[in-house]
Amino acid sequence: MGDLYGDKWEIVRSLGEGAQAHTFIARDTTDSEGSPFVLKRLKNLDRLARFKQEVEAVKGLAHPNVVRLVDFDLDAPRPFIVTEYCAGGNLEEADPFWITSAENAFRLFDEICQGVVAAHNAGIIHRDLKPANIFLRSRLGPAVVGDFGICYVLDDGTRLTITDEAVGARLFIAPELEDGRAQLVSEKSDTYSLGKILYWLLSGKRVFSREKHREPSWDLKTRNEDSPDSWDNVYMEHVNRLLDLMVTPSPESRRSVRNIAILARYTARLIAREFNPIDPAIPQPCKYCGQGHYIIRAKELVDVRNFGFNTVGAPNWRVLVCDHCGHTAIFRVDMASRKEWWPN
């Protein structure tokens, strides 16, 4: 028989060792089914406060997308926590079934957002969101948020991070939390990290430092001069616009995770149905013949009249014509809510 904790948790095998705890697969000796659980044993009693914070955070979060706390004993000579076992492992080590499917990537992202929103509703900011701290209950999910060891509790302003210790993973951390600046934490810090996770899911596990998703070498559209529209996937511009609201250095420019969850569902629909992202820098493929591109042929009133329109007032027209088949598309920019998408 392996080591026993709490008179019933038997160690089956080791899962590894982190900075704070040893992690094991354990089983409940009082349960005849022998289902696996995860037992985390504290390494250093100086970190007991963090261990207690993780227990308090997870204990109050009964949500389908937050890891489930099963048992704990923080007063034992060897303090431990027992949580559910997620058979799919963490995202970093899991079989990346989502890489070939934006739909699956957005489904996982939505599940992660729901877990984070539940934490925020309880006044808890995770501060360490990264693929290694997101778990899959089965090979295909659902995704659950775990490892609240360095979370921040808004109710009492608890900060348990050592002053000169960086918070979170370097490539996923919000810039305001770098260099141990934990006093600047807010819900928008989690928004930044979630933006990095969304990019990671959709890019085949790529991650960049700071804010680079618009740079050509990191752009999710992927430049391809041999493609008819110069990009491998022009519809990923919709994701770029979502990332613009997340991966930005100013917390004030980021949206809340609640809003991001809504916008992410909308973005997933735009991609799935291949709606064109309007942008003067992105050639628009013809929706009729599929071979040509729309070129702006008229925007001044005199040019618009040449197309047979009798204008009243001062409308701001754009008349686009396919350079291959002549299919015509007509827009009234003055009636658009996003006028900045159109060139002057």
Assign 3-class secondary structure to 279-334: CCCCCEECCCCCCCEEEEEECCHHHHHHCCCCCCCCCCEEEEEECCCCCEEEEEHH
| Residue 280 pLDDT > 80 | no
In the chain, CATH 3.30.200.20 covers 4-84
In the chain, CATH 1.10.510.10 covers 89-272
Angle at 343 between CA 273 and CA 268, to 5 degrees: 20
- Mean pLDDT over residues 134-153, rounded? 92
Q: Which fold has domain 4-84?
A: Phosphorylase Kinase; domain 1 (3.30.200)
- Predicted confidence at residue 180, as pLDDT, reads 63
The contacts of residue 52 (CB under 8 Å, 6+ apart) are 74
Whole-angstrom distance, CA of residue 123 vs CA of residue 127: 13
Whole-angstrom distance, CA of residue 200 vs CA of residue 207: 6
Side-chain half-sphere of 92: how many Cα atoms within 13 Å? 10
Top-confidence residue, 301 or 187: 187
End-to-end CA distance of the chain: 76
In the CATH hierarchy, which top-level class contains the domain 89-272? Answer: mainly alpha
pLDDT digits (tens, 9 = 90+) for 99-143: 999 999 999 999 999 999 999 999 999 999 999 999 999 999 999
pLDDT digits (tens, 9 = 90+) for 51-101: 888 888 888 899 999 999 999 999 999 999 999 999 999 999 999 999 999
The contacts of residue 333 (CB under 8 Å, 6+ apart) are 316, 317, 318, 339, 342
The token duo for 272 is 């799935």
Whether omega before 277 lies within 30 degrees of 0, making that bond cis, reads no
| Residue 163 pLDDT > 50 | no
Taking Cα atoms as reference points, which of 291, 289, 314, 319 lies closest to residue 304? Answer: 319
Whole-angstrom distance, CA of residue 188 vs CA of residue 154: 13
Q: Specify the range with the lowest mean pLDDT, choosing from 41-50, 90-99, 186-195.
A: 41-50
Whole-angstrom distance, CA of residue 246 vs CA of residue 316: 32
